[in-house]
Structure 1
Amino acid sequence: MDTSAMIKGVAAGVPYVALRPEGTGGPAPAVVTWHLMDAPRSERAMASALPMSGVPAWRVYFGLPMSGERPLPGGPDEFFRLAGEDYVLNIAEPVTDQAAAELPAALEALREQLPITEAPIGVAGGSAGSAVALEVLARAEVPVAAAALVSPVIQLAPVVAANARRFGVTYHWSERSRAVAERFDFVRRAGELGTDVLLVVGEQDDVAFREPAEALYRELGERGRLVVVPGMEHALAEEPGLEPAPQTPHAAVADAEFTEWFQRRL
């Protein structure tokens, strides 16, 4: 996509890029999105992968803590050191909690910077970013019209097991980390997600993502939609996934599903 169309800014300390709504010169609602920790792993790259151009709303892509425009002082080496020490307590919990807690003030600041209406927002996310979107729904601190998730983290414990398999390590659970995993089990908390949720999963993604998405879909009933994308794995962009890049065929499928979902609900 044309990266010159991206508006870059900071809202209450949270870096973002925004895409203007097409076909309207006046105020419009917003969809706020959080990126993956896999590719695309920055706000600019996520905007390129899932632009949702047909949605008549501002599409705003927030950077996650510890990544994107807010890397740790030690960079990727420090990130992987912390993840190796305790992924749940050092990465998953603080990133999800901080990103969700930042939203109310960031949204208020956005409305001072961009002509965004007071209408309920859409929320979206991929992988780690989807856990943020789900936590935002559960906290209910801002009105949300609908949510859309791709390669979603629905239950933290299976994802920890998948990472252990992927990197050939053993995660040592503690009482505290088990409590965190229980809190970030959104199948169990499905009743707290008070809006419609779209779930887009890759047919070739790890079972740690596919099966919890299916379980959440069953719990949501009529409030949910599950789309399985043939041949898709977990990532939505080619590595390294930090800068805008041509949209992959699988990302195009997810983008079309997100676009139709929000067109009907905003």
Structure 2
Amino acid sequence: METITGTAAGVPFTALPPAVAVDGPAPLIVTWHMLDAPRTDAAFAAALPMTGVPAWRVHLGMPMCGARMVDGRVDAAIELAREDALMAFLAPFTHQAADEFPAALTALRDQLPVDEEPVSVLGASLGAAVALQVLTTQRTPLKAVALVNPAVRIRSVVPLVEGLAGHAYRWTGQAREAADELDFVARAADLTAQPPLLLVSGERDHPELRTDAAALVDALREHYAHPDEVELTTVPGLAHPLADEPGLEPAPQLPTAGAVDEILTRWFLRQLTS
């Protein structure tokens, strides 16, 4: 399977073509990786290749990750987290990745033999917050949305990174507003588009994130016209990361990531053929 790398409207990507020949342009699945391992588009493609899905799987690089790392290191991103975990790191990374998606999608369609149908998206951890922001703002029609160990409420993620600063996070009014904007449980009622959604939660993920994941599923089912199109799956033994550290380069797939990969493959197959 040939892997293609490049940039789309300035966003680096790793693209995997359909493993089986497709008659004409193929469907497109776009992903955003986590900031834990695997923390680059290339490493994420290796962790969750979804080889059995007859679609292009295009893994976009998050801001300051992969090809966008400063001097090839993660130090600059870590320094932002130390400066302000929410306002300099989590929130701007999420907003930038979501804001640059429409232009990147247009460029991908110019570069790859993909169809013009609504695109499917997948996000993991903070990448899932990007996918949810894309879903909520509704600038791009979506066919299906999958989330893995998602950052559903950014307020719950702040304590997980505030240790980089060596002190408890100092909440301000502006920070609280930013956290409210990235609380997708609270924003569930804003959704008018209701694509099928799968949430994959690791049994050993951070307890706060698991609680938020269940709350999001409940909120979406309350507002979806067809609640059964919102699915929650728990993966035994899966912690938050999907790869071993340092998670910068493609690595052999872990058994837990393989379990996630199988779940995603079956689900996307069902969505693309329905």
Give yes or no for TM over 0.5. yes
Q: In structure 1, what is the Cα distance between the partners aligned to 2:238 and 2:166?
A: 23
Q: Say if 2:123 is the partner of 1:125.
A: yes
Counterpart residue identity of residue 229, structure 1: V
Structure 2 unaligned blocks of 5 or more: 222-226
Structure 1 residue 166, shift from structure 2 partner: 8.3
Q: Contact conserved, 2:85 with 2:162, CA < 8 A, in 1?
A: no
Which whole-Å CA distance do the structure 2 matches of 1:11 and 1:204 have between them? 35
Question: Given the superposition, is the C-alpha separation of residues 70 and 204 from structure 1 closer, same or farther in structure 2, using an over 3 Å criterion?
Answer: same
Q: Partner residue of 2:12? A: 15
Give the corresponding residue for 1:257.
263
In the alignment of these two chains, the number of paired residues is 263
Offset of 1:78 from its aligned partner? 2.2
RMSD, aligned α-carbons: 1.6
The offset of 1:66, in angstroms, is: 1.3
Q: Is the 8 A contact 1:50 1:251 kept in 2?
A: yes
Partner Cα separation in structure 1 for residue 29 and residue 251 of structure 2 = 21
Name 1:159's counterpart in structure 2: 157
Would the aligned equivalents of 1:162 and 1:208 in 2 still touch at CA under 8 Å?
no
**Pairs within 5 Å for 1:117-266:** 117-164=115-162, 169-193=167-191, 194-221=194-221, 222=227, 223-266=229-272
Moved more, 23-32 or 210-219: 23-32
Shift of 1:165: 6.2
TM-score w.r.t. structure 2 length? 0.92
The corresponding residue for 2:57 is 59
**CA distance change for structure 1 residues 168 and 44 in 2, over 3 Å: closer, same or farther?**
same
Is residue 203–residue 234 contact of structure 2 (8 Å, CA) maintained in 1?
A: yes
The TM-score with structure 1 as length reference comes to 0.94
TM-aligned CA distance change 1:192 to 1:264, over 3 Å: farther
Q: Identity rate of aligned residues, in percent?
A: 49
Q: Offset at 1:168?
A: 5.6
Residue 71 of structure 1 deviates from its aligned partner by 1.2
Q: Give the ranges of 4+ consecutive aligned residues of structure 1 lying more than 4 Å apart after TM superposition.
A: 165-168
C-alpha distance after superposition, 1:131-162 (max 9, x if no partner) = 10000101111110111111100001111123
Q: 2:69 is matched by which residue type in structure 1?
A: P
Mind listing any 5+ residue stretches in structure 1 that lack a counterpart?
Answer: none
